[in-house]
Chain A
Amino acid sequence: MNPESIIFYNLFIYLFGFVLLLSLNKSVFKQLSGWISIVISVLGIIFSSSLQGPSTENFNISYNWLHLGETRINFTILIDNQTYFMYILVQVIAFCVKLFSTKYLEHDDGINRYFAFLNLFVFSMLGLVLAGNLLQMYLFWELIGFCSYLLIGFWYTKKAANSAAIKAFLINRMGDAFLMVGIFLLFLIYGNLDFDALIPQNINKNAFGFPFLSSQGLQTLAVLMIFGGVTAKSAQLPLQIWLPDAMEGPTPASALIHAATMVVAGIFLLGRISPIITPDAGLVIALTGALTSVLAAISAVFQYDIKKVLAYSTISQLGFMVAGMGMGAVGASFFHLATHAFFKAGLFLCAGAVINYMHHEQDMRKMGNLILKLPVVFYAYVICAASLMGLPFTSGFLSKDSLLNAAVAFGTKNGLKEIKLLVPVMMGITSFLTSFYMIRQLIMVFFQRQESPVDKIISSTKRTFDGVIKSFQKILNAENESLGEDRLTNFVRNLGMFEVSIIGLTVCSTWFLFSSNPFSFEEVWFLEVFQSEETHFSWIPLAVGMLFILALLISYNTTYEELRRYYLGEYKTGNQRRFYLLAKNHFYIDRIYKRLFFMFVKSGETTNMPMTAGLSDKGLKTRKFEIAPYFQLIETNIVDRLITKISSLVLSLSNYSSKIDDKILDGSVLGISFGLKNLGDKIRKSQSGQIQLYILGMVVIILCIVFIKIIIF
């Protein structure tokens, strides 16, 4: 098959899946919707595997979509390396997630709706990666946002889910507004929206309508506007606040959409426009990315919700990728995107399994001991977490190494005195914090510890440590034992849907999928396809390792201390507590938006409003500036009243004139309004059939005139 029809069928089956599953609402096949959609995914993967990956030559095909005068915008399918990887990646992860979801949502009433949305999402995401121009990308860009809205609000009777959904959509809408302006600006500069045409040589030099900007400056502005869209979709400062709340959705959906694929659409877009990112814009993007990653990592350290930790971690890692794009390290950034997609999806699915096991309890402090109950999940979790932390033998090691390498090269290019240096420094801090919160999470969720009786817990730190070692031994032994053939078959037989899908993603998080050499990113085929950095700092992996060990030591102790205080009900006080609250609430960025929003809307019920998801109302004083009600006041008091005044003036005038001379009144224009005033009453009186006569008369007369004139002349 030629690529064109492959893509057509591939997209079509997902769309078909969406429609089909949505129509299954009342049918008996509803419970099968998970399997139907898995079949669709398998078909999709088969289709796309027969698609030839381009190495040098891009595949490009255009359909006539719309043209307005001179402006032509085609519907273009563009397949280059970037597209090809994403195309496969999205479908593979979607497959794992669907597999996981069949069990996770098996008793849910809206299961067909859920899978329908998933299919729509995959369709839109594939459309996005295939898009050959900015408008087309914008189209799918909003569609994936729409799918995200639907999936976050999947449990629509839950208030928190609704608020989170609407918040996500609105924040993304703000980003889209920036993106749209960016698209307009780029059209102004290049006269074209095709990605192929967005190269510096194509600048249209005489079309600028901006007084204070050079063409370079305008281009920077355009790129930053596009970046504004990216900040919303990829959850960067200052629009990152929707992502933690988006965790209200079903966990597997979070894994697919809010960790692995949708949120990286922004990175993908930056990669697409990378040839035109100016150095100034690049610096801003890199700094924003790095700063976001640090702030999000700090917040992740203080979360108790298992999914929120992962959400902040996602923001933090997205910050890495964005920074990479800003630095011009497209290959490294993409590589991290790919590895992150696998291990973060893996982590989320593990979290889903844990949450499912805990009967939808998400507070990590109430977990513990799961190492024995969910061993497979634990191993998967450890491997994925290691990948996230960048430990050897994992894919994360390679991608993080390459990204940090690029950052150091970027930061030290022109000596150590520039602001650029902040980028690698902040990314280093993030690496440390990443290890810190992942270890904290591992300990809290999986490690053994004494439960409840408070007095025992005080001295339990030491004992638990022993317990951990013991449990490790136990598991290792169990592992050894199960190497026997019976055990192995037993083990396989006991694997549930959860474990299978998690193991799939975990395997993808190890090095061999990407490189033959686990210790150096130089042999990664991924990076060979994208041309990347020439300099190589060999000390970076060591530094990451050191940071990990440091984090391990500190985090281990503090986490147990934290748990101890939790059981005792002790809380930090003073500045410590203030900092804790600041970090936990992600620096109160939410609150700024809420204030902003309240300026526009007056509402008695504050809880049911957009933009308020995940916020307590404490500390929010009354809203002094409400704009929308003022508009309403203007409407009724000024605009409407003015008109009423004018018409009453006209009325009194006409009354006056009627007293002077009835005959003038009949013909005067002023009389119309007077007549009309009474007309309403007259109608009511004349309703008993006279109207018909009246209208009939009019119609007949008019028609007669028309016909007579036509006939006579």
Chain B
Amino acid sequence: MQSGLLSSLIILPLIASMVILLLPESYKGSYRWISLIVQVLLLIDLGTLIGAFEPNHSGYQFLEHFEWIRLTLGKTSILSIDYIVGIDGLSLSMVALSVIIFFIANISSFSINKKEKAYYSLFLLLTATVIGCFIAVDFFLFFIFFEFMLLPMYFLIGIWGGPNKAYASLKFIIYTLVGSVMILVVMIALAMSNVDEFFTSEYKRTVFSFDFRILSDQANLLKGSLLNIETPIKIFGVNARDFMFILLFIGFGIKLPMVPFHTWLPDAHVEAPTPISVVLAGVLLKIGGYGLIRIAYDFFPDVAIHYGLLISIIGLISILYGGFNALAQKDLKKLIAYSSISHMGFVLLGFGAFNIEGFNGAIFQMFSHGLLSSMLFLIAGVLYDRTKNREIDNFKGLAKIMPIFTVLVTVAFFGSLGLPSLSGFIGEFFTLFGSFQANTVPKVIPILGVLGIVLSAIYLLWTFQKMFFGEFWTKDEFQNNLTDLNQKEILMLGILGILTLLFGIFPNILFDVINPTVIQLFG
């Protein structure tokens, strides 16, 4: 089924990005509309995808396969790199999240007035690479997108960021590059150990492949290779497979982010402009989680099961550490950034459980965090746009003058702290639930994890109370700027709020899609 639907998700924004670059400055006003039209087209694309997607079918759908690079290695083997895109339930949920968040972020970008040409072409480039990451079925292709994503991100923070942008963007790129290097090592090791049986018999040579479908099947492991299971090879005294898994875990963990590799996140968020914060928290962090499932867990299931405890502990630490740090913050954006760390800790907790409930919960948590954290950053953006200030203590009693804003903030805050009927609850509940049912994890970990729910209630409600209740007060210079939401902001926050509510009440919309993929992972 070579419908081209998936490729269009990548190609459309790429073309638009180039079009914007080539348009002369006199068309300055049209950049944002071109970009928005592309995002709408992507939404339509997504709608078609969802309509045609068969949820009960495990494995990849809408596959598009082109041979790309055939590298002859010596006389006996060939390295095959293909352009393969396809989606299963997991990727579909992530693609849907990205398309929605990019659409929202694009609307939010309208308030950017500096160097629009560069901004929108970079933004579209980012869109293409992020979506590419989620739909690539070839490790090499995935890695290209994964790496290429850094470039627009780096400039988007480095040029349109706050006062400390150079530091933040540098920190971001160093961290992520270190992670990338680790992933690169594993990629090469994996490709050199897995053989495509089909093409091997066809070409009469050993064909090493980057195809996810081949890498995930352990029957394809070459006997005697670095990563074979029967006769383990040691690297620094550790089994090669264990070593590779840990590399992947750290590599994607940095992106997730997990404690202690998280310090790039608060800085990047504080400096990034609002739409980029939204994309960063809403989508980019999810690539870490996606990579963990798609690559670390899928290719090393035999190893992963032994690290359940470790991953759960790191998850727990992330939850509590992020929560306590959030409690100490004075800057709204920083608080949200730390709460992101805390919430992504639940994702790790779900992965650590290594059972169907935990994985489903973790994926749901990623999705819901994508919606909620985007909402939270938009909220911080609303205040920042009006006052150029984000200090929590500078605002009091906003409820009185910004009633609509308060309603939407209530949805976002209570969704984040896990009020049932909003999506945050389902994710948190089922990651903890899975962790509790897991045999490999001592019960004390999920029990302590439940504390994370109390913690998030404390810091979010406290902030809510400080900023929105009581008599209205701000510094004099902001007084006149604080007006209630305009239609654009209502639209953005409203869409996300409704989605949060929808997935909170009918979680099966998402679970039905991801369940077959998760079951297949354990099958």
Contact = CB atoms under 8 A, between A and B. Distances in A.
B66 A146 contact: no
B21 A25 contact: no
B232 interface: no
Interface string A376-392: 00000000000000000
Nearest to B360: A68
Interface in A290-308: none
B429 A180 contact: yes
11 contacts: A68-B518, A143-B420, A156-B397, A169-B461, A173-B454, A631-B325, A632-B329, A640-B263, A680-B166, A680-B169, A687-B159
Contacts of B454: 170, 173-174, 177
Given A146-B419, A672-B177, A681-B166, 14 more contacts: A67-B515, A68-B511, A69-B357, A141-B420, A608-B465, A608-B466, A627-B324, A640-B263, A676-B174, A683-B166, A691-B159, A695-B118, A695-B151, A703-B18
A209 B70 contact: no
Given A69-B519, A600-B327, A696 B21 contact: yes
Interface stretch (B190-198, B206-214, B439-447): B439-447
Nearest to A608: B466
B458 interface: yes
**Secondary structure class of chain A's binding surface, majority of residues:** helix
B515 A710 contact: no
B18 A699 contact: yes
B461 A628 contact: no
A479 B321 CA distance: 68
B163 interface: no
B439 A209 contact: yes
A170 B464 CA distance: 13
Interface in A188-213: 188, 209-210
Contact of B67 (A159, A687, A713): A713
B508 A159 contact: no
B469 A181 contact: no
B155 interface: yes
Interface stretch (B219-227, B276-284, B430-438): B430-438
A699 B174 contact: no
A47 interface: no
Interface residues of A, number: 80
B446 A184 contact: yes
B148 interface: yes
B436 A188 contact: yes
Nearest to A601: B327
Contacts of B400: 157
A702 B465 contact: no
B357 A702 contact: no
Contacts of A639: 259-260, 263
Given A156-B469, A187-B437, A68 B429 contact: no
Contacts of B152: 695
Nearest to A710: B66
Given A71-B357, A698-B151, A706-B83, A673 B66 contact: no
A602 B329 CA distance: 11
A174 to B, nearest CB: 6
A153 interface: yes
B420 A142 contact: yes
A692 B170 contact: no
Interface string B315-355: 00000010011011100000000000000000000000001
B269 to A, nearest CB: 14
Contacts of B515: 67-69
B120 to A, nearest CB: 11
Contact of A692 (B118, B357, B414, B469): B118
B470 interface: yes
B8 to A, nearest CB: 14
A156 B461 contact: no
Contacts of B471: 157
B285 interface: no
Contacts of A698: 151
A622 B109 CA distance: 47
Contacts of B412: none
Contact of A64 (B22, B430, B508): B508
Interface in B464-523: 465-466, 468-471, 507-508, 511, 515, 518-519, 522
A521 B517 CA distance: 59
A139 interface: yes
Contacts of A601: 327-328, 458
Contacts of B149: none
Nearest to B177: A672
Interface in A126-142: 135, 138-142
Nearest to A641: B263
A700 interface: yes
Contacts of B115: 687
B476 to A, nearest CB: 20
A176 interface: yes
B122 interface: yes
A221 to B, nearest CB: 10
A219 B152 CA distance: 55
Nearest to B430: A68
Interface in A457-496: none
A228 to B, nearest CB: 11
Those 8 A-B pairs whose CB atoms lie nearest each other, nearest first? A69-B356, A680-B166, A139-B420, A184-B436, A628-B327, A631-B324, A628-B328, A632-B328
B470 A159 contact: yes
Given A143-B421, A691-B155, A647 B174 contact: yes
B117 interface: yes
Interface in A604-656: 608-610, 627-629, 631-632, 635, 639-640, 643, 647
